[in-house]
Amino acid sequence: MAGSTHPTVGVLALQGDFREHIAVLGALGADAVPVKRPEELERVAGLVIPGGESTVMDKLSRMFGMAEPLKAAVASGMPVYGTCAGLIMLADTLLDAIEGQQTLGGFDLVVRRNAFGSQLDSFETDLDIPVLGDPAVHAVFIRAPVVESVGAKATTLASLSDGRVVAVEQDNLLGTSFHPEMTGDTRFHEYFLRKVAAA
Amino acid sequence: MSTDKNEQLGQSSLNGTSRVKRGLAEMLKGGVIMDVVTADQAKIAEDAGAVAVMALERVPADIRSQGGVARMSDPDLIDGIIAAVSIPVMAKARIGHFVEAQVLEALKVDYIDESEVLSPADYVNHIDKWNFSVPFVCGATNLGEALRRITEGAAMIRSKGEAGTGDVSEATKHIRTILGEISALKGKSKDELYVAAKELQAPYDLVREVAEAGKLPVVLFTAGGVATPADAALMMQLGADGVFVGSGIFKSGDPAKRAAAIVKATTFYEDAAIIAEASRGLGEAMVGINVSDIAEPHRLATRGW
């Protein structure tokens, strides 16, 4: 892992598999903490938005005054990594949202929720991600979103064999449709922590 | 992006694996799964912040009061609910009724609850859940029962509680029992685990896995009798990964408000000020029955073994 310091990295803990992210980041030497309140966000140098249900994260973040501080953090250049629901939360434009659902935005993307169908269509596969090198990343997609269109500011990091984009980057932002926190492959989290160290 | 390489890799793509099945439950953690009997109720639940809905024909309180055989819901009802919401939809099959489960899989529900709330179809065998690509959640009153269900392929466990009562005491007992038995395993030496497996009536390898990890290999929710925001927070403080609320919402005076309040209390379960705020002005809670007033043979938690 890059850097000899121990950056404090938050994981948005309103709902979802935030404990798994905290465990991975902690094992990589970061001081990983759950973030549910605006004052907790102020203490972190980077943030992971975990997998979970995006409609619930959206509602709770607005209800408890987290949405505006989160938007400000993204705009200020704080490194933020979204997995699955987290990627949805970061997208500028969301398709197949429920009525009234909002995103934080900031990531120049069009993302579609539940792009593969029901749970029966959830799957795991190996994915070549050039920026992480060999071997391929084992990627788990759970009722996952896909990036339908990558804006001018964002870059594609990986696509499925059918061309659908499932990993993206834009300056300090990182997003994956799948869940590296579930497989024990820590390369995405290491990549993210290098952004935190460089920020 | 090296599409050629990914075309090759894409052929390794797998559906319905344990990781994928257990993974959906991981994503529901910290959330509230709500029983709904109509598409309108499903919408209310989604708007209130449910992480998933459980589609059924009658909530447990009505099954209890109306009696009769309780079965899988009408496919039209399940289709209507799937069409109404974008969050995961679960549905119940009777214990041991693998054809109801096949039907629910064909309807593309996201999770099947092999549930003691319905009338059991088999008093000896549970469903062999490894035969399915759709994941299953099963109820348990203690660790041995939870591990037997996992051995049969359950990808998520919920403590049973006593459904349809609004009395949280059984849910408390079951979650405390399961987590207490896991703690007890952690202190045991390797040779003691053989006896522990015998006593739990569960496979040794799974018992050892739990002893080493200090937790179940699947997500553990709690269910049965949760009716208020404080009930939900109690379950979370006791160590549940999330909460099922059955009759507690749509048998109350103001379902939308109560549902949203229970969601808030589940997320901020350690913050009494937020739970207090969420508990204000919710109108009438479901009336409820004390579990002690229900004769043993009529308790749903005794179904399944």
Domain count, chain A: 1
- Determine, yes or no, domain membership for A168: yes
In this predicted structure, the answer to whether residue A199 has a pLDDT above a threshold of 60 is: yes
Q: What are phi and psi of B48, to 5 degrees?
A: -85, -10
The pLDDT assigned to B4 comes to: 63
B positions 84-123 inside 8 Å of A (CB): 85-88, 105, 108-111
In this predicted structure, the answer to whether residue A124 has a pLDDT above a threshold of 60 is: yes
B267 and A CB contact within 8 Å: yes
8 Å CB contact between B138 and B126: yes
- Determine, yes or no, domain membership for A2: no
8 Å CB contact between A2 and B14: no
- Determine, yes or no, domain membership for A1: no
Q: Which distant-in-sequence residues (6+ apart) come within 8 Å of A76 by Cβ?
A: none
8 Å CB contact between A101 and A145: no
Peptide bond into A145 cis (omega under 30): no
How many CB atoms are located within 10 Å of the residue B270 CB? 11
- Determine, yes or no, domain membership for A18: yes
Q: What are phi and psi of B182, to 5 degrees?
A: -65, -45
8 Å CB contact between A38 and A48: no
Q: Strands, E, within chain A: which ranges? A: 8-12, 31-35, 46-49, 80-83, 91-95, 107-112, 123-127, 137-141, 146-150, 155-159, 165-170, 173-176
What does the block give as tokens for A117? 């169908």
How many CB atoms are located within 10 Å of the residue A74 CB? 22
The pLDDT assigned to B6 comes to: 72
In Å, what is the CA distance from B27 to each residue of B19, B87, B88, B204?
12, 11, 11, 28
pLDDT (tens digit per residue) in A152-197: 999 999 999 999 999 999 999 999 999 999 999 999 999 999 999 9
What does the block give as tokens for A66? 């987290």
Which residue, among A143, A81, A71, has the nearest Cα to A113 in the 3D structure? A143
Question: What's the per-residue H, E or C state across chain B?
Answer: CCHHHHHHHHCCCEECCHHHHHHHHHHHCCCEEEEECCHHHHHHHHHHCCCEEEECCCCHHHHHHHCCCCCCCCHHHHHHHHHHCCCCEEEEEECCCHHHHHHHHHCCCCEEEEECCCCCCCCCCCCCHHHCCCCEEEEECCHHHHHHHHHCCCCEEEECCCCCCCCCHHHHHHHHHHHHHHHHHHCCCHHHHHHHHHHHCCCHHHHHHHHHHCCCCCEEEECCCCCCHHHHHHHHHHCCCCEEECHHHHCCCCHHHHHHHHHHHHHCCCCHHHHHHHHCCCCCCCCCCCHHHCCHHHCHHHCCC
Question: What residue in B sits closest to A118 (Cα-Cα)?
Answer: B110
The catalytic position among B5, B21, B92, B264 is B92
Query: Hey, are the CB atoms on A56 and B110 less than 8 Å from each other?
Result: no
Return left, alpha or beta for B99; rule: phi > 0 is left, psi -120 to 50 is alpha, else beta: alpha
Which structural domain range is residue A35 located in?
Answer: 8-198
Alpha helices in chain A (DSSP H): 18-27, 38-41, 54-63, 67-75, 85-90, 187-198
- Determine, yes or no, domain membership for A153: yes
8 Å CB contact between B157 and B220: yes
In this predicted structure, the answer to whether residue A130 has a pLDDT above a threshold of 50 is: yes
- Cα separation, B150 vs B143, in Å, equals 10
pLDDT (tens digit per residue) in B59-97: 888 888 888 899 999 999 999 999 999 999 999 999 999
Q: Mean pLDDT in chain A? A: 96
Query: Hey, are the CB atoms on B30 and A84 less than 8 Å from each other?
Result: no
pLDDT (tens digit per residue) in B170-181: 999 999 999 999
Within 8 A of B134 by CB-CB distance, chain A residues are 119-120
When pLDDT is cut at 50, 70 and 90, the band that residue A2 belongs to is very low
The pLDDT assigned to B3 comes to: 53
This prediction has a pTM of 0.95
pLDDT (tens digit per residue) in B234-265: 999 999 999 999 888 998 889 999 999 999 99
Which residue in B12, B23, B31 is closest to A53 by CB distance?
A: B31
CATH number at residue A77: 3.40.50.880
pLDDT (tens digit per residue) in B95-150: 999 999 999 999 999 999 999 999 999 999 999 999 999 999 999 999 999 999 99
Query: Hey, are the CB atoms on A16 and B17 less than 8 Å from each other?
Result: no
B1-16: average pLDDT? 72
Query: Hey, are the CB atoms on B108 and A19 less than 8 Å from each other?
Result: no
- Determine, yes or no, domain membership for A3: no
- Cα separation, A94 vs A12, in Å, equals 20
- Determine, yes or no, domain membership for A39: yes
- Determine, yes or no, domain membership for A177: yes
When pLDDT is cut at 50, 70 and 90, the band that residue A3 belongs to is very low
CA end-to-end distance (rounded Å), chain B: 52
| A85 SS3 class | helix
When pLDDT is cut at 50, 70 and 90, the band that residue A4 belongs to is very low
Interface with chain B: mutation pick from A11, A12, A114, A119, highest number of B CBs within 10 Å: A119
